[in-house]
Amino acid sequence: MPRVIVLPTPKDQALLICGDAPESHFDRSFETDGERLAYIRGIDKAEFGVEYKVSFEDQCYMELHRSAGVHTFCFAFHDAAEKEAFKQGLADGRDCSSPEVIGEHDDRFDSLAILVSAAPLQPR
């Protein structure tokens, strides 16, 4: 199962560099790699504090309208699960000031997974 851990702030990223557990994180698992990539795409598209409104969607397509401007963005997905993963990434990314996504192929992933599982905190 593909998995990513998101460190939402520079402070959390600095704590990891120092070998400490981050104060907050998102730990997300997916059924497919396509869902993982759609989630990351949502994180990348999100802007801190900006709301998005879905202006149209069906099973594999979505149009978003950015509330802080007149921009409309269109996205196509292979299936509904990818679309939902994208929406989760967009929601998570909106709460991040400068997110860093760490996936299973990153050299830091295993040590980060151990740190966040042992830390006495609640994932976001």
Residue 70's pLDDT is what?
Answer: 67
Closest CA to 28 of 47, 58, 8: 8
Domain count, the chain: 1
Q: Is residue 57 part of a domain?
A: no
Domain residues for 87? 3-49+79-118
In a domain, 21, yes or no: yes
| Residue 19: inside a domain | yes
User: Is residue 71 assigned to a domain?
Assistant: no
At residue 53, the pLDDT reads: 80
Question: Looking at residue 86, what is its pLDDT?
Answer: 94
- The mean pLDDT values, 10 residues at a time, for the chain of 124 residues are 94 93 94 96 84 81 77 88 94 89 94 83 50
d(CA 46, CA 23): 21
pLDDT for 56 equals 82
